[in-house]
Amino acid sequence: MSDVRDEHAQNPPPDDRTEDSVLAYVVQQTARHLGEPGGAVDPALSFYELGVDSLDLIIIGRRVGKRFGVRLEMRDLLTENSGPKELCRIVVRRLPQPAPDV
């Protein structure tokens, strides 16, 4: 059973790759590390303004990268303006494109 969940975590279905779903996942992971409900996280704020420390940010980045199959660099996470919305934009730009139907 855990293999199926791990596989899904690495390769979300195509409808799960929308900007809204990426942002929702980033907000969920941020809230989880802050010990807050997801609705308490304003995605427009920076991670610094939200109170996310660098260690939590690295963990969030790894989970988000693994979930959506993208590589995130430290500089993507630790810039002054980096927040859930900006991280979402980076992830969406780097999403692997689905193979064309043949």
Between CA 10 and CA 36 the distance in angstroms is: 25
Residue 101 inside a domain? The answer is: no
- The whole-model pTM stands at 0.79
pLDDT digits (tens, 9 = 90+) for 17-71: 789 999 999 999 999 999 988 788 999 999 999 999 989 999 999 999 999 999 9
| Domain count across the chain | 1
Residue 72 inside a domain? The answer is: yes
Residue 31 inside a domain? The answer is: yes
Residue pair 41/34 in contact (Cβ under 8 Å)? The answer is yes
CA distances from 93 to 28, 32, 60 (A): 20, 24, 18
| Residue that has been written with the tokens 């059973």 in this structure | 1
DSSP reduced 3-state for 10: helix
Residue 102 inside a domain? The answer is: no
Task: Compute CA 57 distance to the chain's CA centroid, rounded to the nearest angstrom.
Answer: 10
The pLDDT score that the predictor gives to residue 101 is: 75
Q: For all residues of the chain together, what is the average pLDDT?
A: 84
Domain containing 52: what range? 2-94
Q: Does the structure show a pLDDT above 70 at 13?
A: no
Q: What is the CATH number of the domain that holds 72?
A: 1.10.1200.10
